Amino acid sequence: MTRISMSVDGVRYSDDVEPRTLLVHYLRERVGKTGTVVGCDTSNCGACTVQLDGQAVKSCSVLAVQADGAQITTIEGLAGPDGALHPMQQAFHAQHGLQCGFCTPGMIMTAVDLLAENPDPSEAEIREGIEGNLCRCTGYQNIVRAVQSAAEQMRGVRS
159 band by pLDDT with thresholds 50, 70 and 90 = very low
85 Cβ contact partners less than 8 Å away, ≥ 6 residues apart: 78, 79, 93
Q: Is the pTM of this model over 0.85?
A: yes
Q: Which domain holds residue 19?
A: 2-77
Number of domains in the chain: 2
Does residue 29 share a domain with residue 55? yes
For residue range 9-58, what is the model confidence (pLDDT) as tens digits? Answer: 999 999 999 999 999 999 999 999 999 999 887 889 999 999 999 999 99
Does 66 share its domain with 108? Answer: no
pLDDT at 151 over 70: yes
Among 35, 57, 77, which residue terminates a domain? 77
Q: What is the CATH number of the domain that holds 34?
A: 3.10.20.30
Q: At which of 34, 49, 77 does a domain end? A: 77
User: Is 151 inside a domain boundary?
Assistant: yes
Determine, yes or no, domain membership for 143: yes
